[in-house]
Amino acid sequence: MKLFLVIVLLSATIWDVFTTAYGTIQVLGFGPFQIAASILFSALIAAFVINTARILRLRQGFVGVMVKFFWIIALAYDFYTSWIGNAKLVTQGRGDAQELILLVGLTLLVIASPILLSAVWQGRLLGNPQHQPST
């Protein structure tokens, strides 16, 4: 069961990285520098999102506050560009309420997948006791 969960979350994480790059390309353009920047931004966003648990555990202080601030920016960027990617690649562009609801749900699930994948890898999601934080 854990293997299945990892495979599904990994697939959704790959889709998240792809739609983030694709959505960024849709905004920036299709030139070689724009494509390279889109791939770089997508990797950077993925790094922030995959490390959500570590970022949230950072202590307060200047560095902790700055990293958390940029993490929020990364989540917003990920949502927006994944929204664009999912809208262009998955939906039919009707813009009706049903399509909008499905697009919101799909985008939220896709951007949550790297966070959940990280939690599974760290043993936090499935209750691995040796990885649980002490109280």
pLDDT band for 93, please (50, 70, 90 cuts).
Answer: confident
What pLDDT does 29 receive? 97
Domain housing 34: 2-126
pLDDT band for 128, please (50, 70, 90 cuts).
Answer: low
User: Does residue 110 contact residue 15 with C-beta atoms inside 8 Å?
Assistant: yes
In a domain, 32, yes or no: yes
Residue 72 tokens read as: 């929020």
In a domain, 22, yes or no: yes
In a domain, 116, yes or no: yes
In a domain, 8, yes or no: yes
In a domain, 41, yes or no: yes
CA distance linking residue 110 with residue 113, whole number of Å:
5
As for how many domains the chain has, the answer is 1
In a domain, 26, yes or no: yes
CA-nearest of 43, 128, 63 to 55 is 63
What pLDDT does 71 receive? 97
CA-nearest of 90, 97, 87, 119 to 23 is 87
End-to-end CA distance of the chain: 29
Q: Which residue has the higher pLDDT, 13 or 92?
A: 13
pLDDT in tens, 20-78: 999 999 999 999 999 999 999 999 999 999 999 999 998 889 999 999 999 999 999 99
> What's at 84, amino acid-wise?
I
pTM of the entire predicted model: 0.86
In a domain, 70, yes or no: yes
In a domain, 94, yes or no: yes
